[in-house]
Amino acid sequence: MSAKKARPPLDPIQGVHTRVRSAQRLGLVMGPVLLLLMLLLPAPPGLSPEGWKTAAVAVLMATWWTTEAIPIPATALLPLPLFPMMGVLGASDAAAPYANDLIFLFMGGFLIAVALERWGLHKRIALAIVHAVGTSPGRLVLGFMVATAFLSMWVSNTATTTMMLPVALAVAEMLRPRDHSGEYSFGISLMLGIAYAASIGGVATLIGTPPNAVLAGAADELLGVQLGFVEWMMVGLPVTVVFLPIAWLLITRVLYVSEDLAGNAASVIDDERSRLGGMSVGERRVGAVFVLTGLAWLLRSEKVIGSVTIPGIQTVMPGVSDSTIAMLASVALFVIPVDWKRGEFVLDWATAQKIPWGVLVLFGGGLSLARAMDQSGLAAWIGSGVAGLSDVPPVVIVAVVGALFVFLTEITSNTATSTMAMPIMAGAAVGLGIAPLALMATAALAASMAFMLPVATPPNAIVFGSGYMTIPQMVRAGIWMNVMAIVLIIATATWLVPVLIP
């Protein structure tokens, strides 16, 4: 049987090319115009001139981020020239957030991820999980989803989806009934399962997806709250553990129930595993660094279990943070040899250069903007402006914010959206009488829940490019996923976050 010819992976701009290009041109002009108009107008009552200038820069950045008038990381560089020129922040104050501790945590996570990819250990882990879960249609989808979600906790959502897709395509084609025509439910379920699991798995850890790190950086900058690897995992991991089976049940038991299938999926999985052969020296050594780094993150601070206190790394070395561990692991990857005679190490600079440096710049720009909003009084002014809504029940506020960002991130960058949202949510929460971290976590979680459209997030675009589904079919599942996500976010932000992260 000939394999189904797949479409090339969809570029997030492809398919709406003319509209997006027009929006880019419009945004490129509109952003500076809005900036100048605001600078020419007097500051509103109760807001300092510096706060008004900060608001003007924020509007410019929001316009360019949402329209992608220029590359998103380039927009994040605007605080460096504009804040000192306008007298909002000094040059050193504006630049300091670009070297925030959490940026190096994410850099370390990126470096560990590319090292895993270099030696193919991520694929071995994924195939082992799929093999262990089982090869009936429902179990296959579940196995691919569990494997994708686990890898997405450590490796970028895009890289994870790209790695899983070829194996999934081979399985889907082998099981397609020969006389089949029309909608191929198993193929749709498998493709959607991989895309959705990549997004769901990413929320579990601080390094899983950029909005998590944006939240942690903003919490440190604006609230003085240290949101470490373990602290976030206590929130994010339950979301992943609860949402993943819900997504699996929805797409395999409600929306796209698998028909009778042909072929033997186990043979495809076994063939893929046999091609990997035995574990290479590189795999073993990067695996050791990966495991030790995870353990160090978990054991950084002391743990209190009942009346027992388990000492942590900080008991001996109080200055150690999660980023310290990440950087130590990163340097170790460059030092640990794979083949000493050939001068080959676990990680080389050519591979390290592949990490998404632009994301790190984007973090810095968002944190610099957050600092300006805090120090200029803009965040406090926003809080006082919404104080009249303080009688609205917090759960309603959380629901509105969650729904807003879940659907907004369908058409905007999740990282840029969360970066812009954090200082606004922090200021608004104070005026509304809500715990700031709960509202900020709502926006961060919602920014990662993009399920409806191929353009919403790279995993969606990649699986759409497989040719197994149409946009209406993705929207049909995505709407239900978005609704489920909103309900889960409300529960998490209202009850879980305040308890686990006071």
3-state secondary structure 9-29: CCCCCCCCHHHHHHHHHHHHH
Residues belonging to the chain: 502
Instruction: Write the burial class of residue 499 (CB in 10 Å: 0-12 exposed, 13-18 middle, 19+ buried).
Output: exposed
Residue pair 218/370 in contact (Cβ under 8 Å)? The answer is yes
Query: Euclidean distance between the first and final Cα of the chain, in Å?
Result: 58
In angstroms, the CA 164 to CA 463 distance is: 10
The list of the chain residues with pLDDT below 50 reads 1-19, 262
The residues pairing with 339 across neighbouring beta strands, listed in sequence order, are 344
The backbone region for 434, taken as left when phi is positive above 0, alpha when psi lies in -120 to 50, beta otherwise, is: beta
Q: Which segments within 302-391 are labelled E, that is strand? A: 303-305, 308-310, 337-339, 344-345
Structure tokens at 324: 């310290």
The answer for 316, left when phi > 0, alpha when psi is -120 to 50, beta otherwise, is alpha
Task: Please answer whether residues 75 and 31 qualify as being in contact, where contact means their C-beta atoms are separated by less than 8 angstroms.
Answer: no
What local confidence, expressed as pLDDT, does residue 259 receive? 60
- What are the structure tokens assigned to 386, written together? 């919404």
Element (H, E) at 91: helix 91-95
- pLDDT tens column, 270-295: 888 888 888 899 999 999 999 999 89
Q: What is the per-residue pLDDT for 479?
A: 93
pLDDT at 34: 96
Between CA 158 and CA 80 the distance in angstroms is 30
Measure the CA–CA gap between 198 and 188, rounded to whole angstroms: 16
278-to-120, 124, 134, 149, 275 alpha-carbon distances in Å: 12, 10, 22, 24, 9
Half-sphere exposure of residue 56: CA atoms within 13 angstroms, side-chain side:
24
For the record, the structure tokens of 195 come out as 């895309």
Q: Between the CA atoms of 423, 426, 432 and 433, what dihedral angle is there, to the nearest 10 degrees?
A: -170
* Per-residue model confidence (pLDDT) at position 7: 44
- For residue 304, the SS3 value is strand
How confident is the model at residue 134, as a pLDDT?
78
pLDDT for residue 97? 92
Q: Are 356 and 156 in contact (CB under 8 A)?
A: yes
Rounded Cα distance, 468 and 454, in Å: 13
Among candidates 121, 144, 129, which has minimal Cα distance to 276?
Answer: 121
DSSP output for 295-337: HHHHTSS-EEETTEEE--HHHH-TT--HHHHHHHHHHHHHHSE
